[in-house]
Chains A and B, each alone.
Chain A
Amino acid sequence: MLKIKNILTLTEKCAPTIRLLSSAVPQPSESTTQIETAQIPSDLQQEVLKHPDYFQVHNLFTVKDLFDARIHYGHKEGSLDPKMLPYIYGSRLGHTIFDLDKTAEYLRRALNVAAHIAYRDGVILFLLRGAQNSHLVERYAKECGEFAHTRFWRGGIFTNSEKQFGAVTRLPDLCIFVNTLNTVLTQHTAVRDAAKMGIATIGIVDSNCNPNLLTYLVPGNDDSPVAVEMYCKLFKEAILRGKAKRKEHLEI
């Protein structure tokens, strides 16, 4: 039988629909238990991709909302990663301040991608390290029917998944890093592992992070609970919009 339900046992599966492994390897399965997966016609999928902002994610937030959520606050100048310089507006008495106009641009791009992946029935995984916001992220992931991993990262969850879970495992199609740092100021191992396994990533990068390996980066504060809640809310809404459109198109 297909062992597809063995997806990341640490995370919680809440999605009501069953997602099939997209691998072409023929699985010996009984014809009676074959699950029919609905497919959106590919021409409609292409049509959706042509629109610059199909899910209208641009109206999810304003720059003022970002400001109120304290997303412009960076770390002190001493811990600045020089790769983050283009996204920084300046330094106010030793504290770096993000350019929120740029953040908004990057965030809209990331939200659009998240909505598109949700529309294409991709598995989305929220990642975060740090106990303070851990439950918050898990709650939001649950609310939009996706997955979260906010606990200690056992090495090889992505790269050695077959051994770790004892079966062929479907990895996520998109990882959303609410912060990309480990608790000890080193980069989250999953950033590297996702790049290894060819998984697209969205990452909130603070002024002390390295943005290079992240596919879609969002420069901004990743420490304040208000900021984290803001990101979670936005991504949840974008994912739900993608899913709603998918449902709508499948029923036609």
Chain B
Amino acid sequence: MAGSRLEKVGTIFTRATGLMQAKAVTWEDRPVWYDVYAAFPPKEEPRFDRPAPDMKIKQIFYEDDKIRAIFHRNNKQIGTGNLLSSHPSLTQRFIETYKKVSQQYKGEADEKQIYVEAIDVLNRERSNREEAVATEEVSLSLAFKKAQSKQEKTGLSIKDIFKD
């Protein structure tokens, strides 16, 4: 079957059309995709020499990035993060608290003051959490000790039970 292998000339559609116009290929022998292409042409012509558009790439930045930058400028080592975790990361928590603090000041405080306060809030949150864990541990050991002393008072010994 006749064909044109010059992929750099026109598109596959124009080449197939040309072959049919020149009667090298019959209408019945047109490619399967021909009618589909005619009904749904691609958005851009698939030409080999289609030039690259003259466009500038846009830089993506968010409002939060300013706060993120402040946090990372002052804290170089913030540990590793787990991408699969659904908990907010340390940076996210900082951004949240920073926003809250700056809302409280209503724009009257400067960047440094808000930063110091937000870090304070985060530290307090962490120490609270650690304390809660510590008290839990202490109460558990206390309960164990109490239970032990109670057991001694009854005077029952497991050793004695099996003596006979």
Contacts and interface: CB of A to CB of B under 8 A. Distances in A.
Contacts of B12: 195, 198-200, 215
Interface in A116-167: 116-117, 120-122, 159
Interface string B31-43: 1110111011011
B57 A90 contact: yes
Contacts of A89: 58, 60
Contact of B60 (A25, A80, A91, A173): A91
B26 interface: yes
Summarize B's interface: helix, strand, loop or mixed: loop
Contact of B36 (A50, A81, A120, A192): A120
B53 interface: yes
Contact of B55 (A86, A96, A173, A192): A86
Interface in A175-191: none
Contacts of B31: 173, 198-200
Contact of A213 (B1, B3, B7, B15): B7
Contacts, number: 116
A212 B42 contact: no
A46 B42 CA distance: 19
Interface residues of A, number: 49
A113 B36 contact: yes
Given A197-B5, A200-B31, A212 B43 contact: no
Interface of A: 22-25, 45-46, 49-50, 77, 80-83, 85-86, 88-92, 96-97, 105-106, 109, 112-113, 116-117, 120-122, 159, 173-174, 192, 195-200, 211-217
23 contacts: A23-B1, A24-B1, A49-B36, A81-B52, A82-B55, A83-B53, A85-B53, A86-B53, A90-B57, A91-B58, A91-B60, A109-B40, A112-B40, A113-B33, A113-B37, A116-B40, A173-B32, A173-B33, A197-B5, A198-B3, A212-B50, A216-B42, A217-B44
